[in-house]
Amino acid sequence: MSGHASPEGARAGAEAQQRAAVAVPAPAWVPACPGAGKTQVITERHLSAPVQPLRQGRALISFTRVARDQMARRCRLAGRADLVQAPHFIGTLDSFLWEFLVRPLRPAQPAPRLLESWAGVKAPVQGLDRELGLHRFPLTVDPSVKPARERVAWDDLDRDTRIALDGSECSRSTWQRKILETRNSWCKQGYYTGHETRLLALWALRDPLASGQVLPPLLSRFAEVVVDEAQDCSAADLAILKRLHEAGLPLVLVGDPDQSIYAWRGADPQALHAFTARLGPAPLRLTGNWRSSPVICRLAATLRAGNRAPDVSVQQHEAIPVLLLPTRFAATGSRHQHALTGTGIVEAFRGLAQDYGIPPDDCLVTAYRYATLPGITRERPNANAITSLAWAHTVTHTPGAPPSDLTRACAVAVRALFGYWFPDETGGPDRICATHRLPLSQVNRTAFAFLHSLPTPNKDWGSQVWQAMKVWPPLPGAAPNGTRGRLAGRPTIARPTPASGIRTNTIHQLKGDEADGVLLLLPEPGSVRRWATGDPTTDETLRVWYVAVTRARRLAALAVPEDEADSLQSLLIGRHVPIRVV
């Protein structure tokens, strides 16, 4: 497909590529550009299955529940509810590994349970000079050795955890030993997260006896396994897929290595390239972009490896130039100013977007780091318990809060109350509810009412929450014990949502999102030099920026330090990207 194809030719070429991807026999590798319609292609491939009952089915695997639900919903809307039932499977990679490689080998008692993270249970690392939640320590595994070796990913600790450890008298090795001991004790109680699932799946595929138990049912059930967003696969994921491929399970991988932005989870574009080269025929590329305008496609091409031609814009034909906003960045996102007008950068972007007929509710402001964003109210990863509860309180008092945030806020409140009411019970909330025969609906109503009754978070909020806990009517079976379960410390108070109506989110949370107008904040000095000279193959930051700009449908805007605006303008003009400094 040519970057200068006519609208009719662009559409015809993109549709031909999609049809080829729907029909390509497994095993296969399908690199897909942003906006290529990957989910549609995968779903159409699944819909091609005959209606009559099959002995074998197809597994559609994604990395997010959103993508999983979208694929299942499309099948139902097409009148093919049979495609979301056995022998087929639609789910996340975690749930696939758990269902077919891990749970069949786990003891029936205690009942095995897959957690989204250790934050789902009260799992403190105890016995050292301070107590920290197990969920604050990301674990990584090296699958290249046997048995696979795991360790704490010290470089990926959040700032608060790093500060807490810097004040500890215990060595990193002591902490790691205690962390793994704590984790192992929870596994003995039947609790596992995605990390343990991968570790156990690797073992199951490498151990002759275990693989003899799990592989025959898997090979008998599935004629094909399709992996969406394959660029997000970690080294452990690829090691598992390699074993499944070698065992004869037909694989189809779909993804975009240019959007590989999860190095902290072990994702590596070069490792993915090495694996997909094993899948046989030449890659079947999807280069038709159904989301973004030709200008945005041209901008994105400057941020990816290989000096490849821009992807072909299929249905957006406007020529709105990239907007370049010289900016005076402040230490906090709420004070960034547009250098030419002195107004807040979000308000400046809002006005510019409206000039092109783009309303605020179809605009998105994004940045690499949480702290750069103005007015964000999202839950901070690995926050301490009192800060998580403060975030949950803010959500319950935010009009129009997303249902997913309200659900999460309620879960945070349940965990806080159960930590006080059931201090001697180590199981998660679900197990405590089962032990005391507590209906989940009653628990959630109680927790939500407690959360909503709390005062606005402030510097003395911890003691106010404690007093509220002590007087709140407990659920049946509650057995408080002194000050156990008290939430210590001061909360980091979530800032209110800005009145601009514009969404804000970090780039890593934008996978699958899009908007007519997108503003990318680039506050770090030297960003333009990095853009000009960096190699996206090895520089994940450039790939992160690539993900950000490719969320835009009609308008992409870049906010850079005012003394770097001229350099970026020259760079983009030299690469034939229409640009306007405003």
Tokens at 24, concatenated:
């390509």
d(CA 204, CA 570): 55
Q: State the burial class of residue 106 (Cβ atoms within 10 Å of its Cβ: 0-12, 13-18, 19+).
A: middle
Annotated binding residue at 248? no
Convert 25-51 to b/e letters by CB count within 10 Å (16 or more is b).
ebbbbbbbbbbbbbbbbbbbbbeebee
The strand pair at 113-114 and 288-289 is best described as unpaired
d(CA 45, CA 90): 13
Residue tagged 């901008």 (tokens): 299
E strand or H helix at 544: helix 540-549
Angle between helices 208-221 and 194-206 (to 10 degrees): 100
Distances (CA, A) of 106 to 188, 189, 204, 453, 577: 10, 11, 11, 42, 56
Annotated binding residue at 37? yes
Biggest CA-to-CA distance, the chain: 74
Backbone phi, psi, residue 265, to 5°: -95, 5
Q: CB count, 10 Å around CB of 445?
A: 12
Amino acid at 501: G
d(CA 108, CA 353): 57
The strand pair at 322-328 and 312-313 is best described as unpaired
The strand pair at 132-133 and 28-31 is best described as unpaired
Convert 523-556 to b/e letters by CB count within 10 Å (16 or more is b).
bbeebbeebeebebbebbbbbbbbbbbbbbbbbb
The strand pair at 132-133 and 124-125 is best described as antiparallel
DSSP-based three-state secondary structure for 581: strand
DSSP, res 322: E
| The dihedral formed by the CA atoms of 353, 357, 360 and 361, expressed in degrees to the nearest 10 | -130
Before 27, cis peptide (omega within 30)? yes
- How many H helices and E strands in the chain? 20, 20
Annotated binding residue at 36? yes
DSSP, res 70: H
Annotated binding residue at 517? no
Before 112, cis peptide (omega within 30)? no
Annotated binding residue at 538? no
d(CA 176, CA 126): 12
Q: State the burial class of residue 301 (Cβ atoms within 10 Å of its Cβ: 0-12, 13-18, 19+).
A: buried
Annotated binding residue at 34? yes
Q: State the burial class of residue 216 (Cβ atoms within 10 Å of its Cβ: 0-12, 13-18, 19+).
A: exposed
Q: Would you list which residues are annotated within the binding site? A: 32-39
Q: Would you list which residues are annotated within the binding site for ATP? A: 32-39
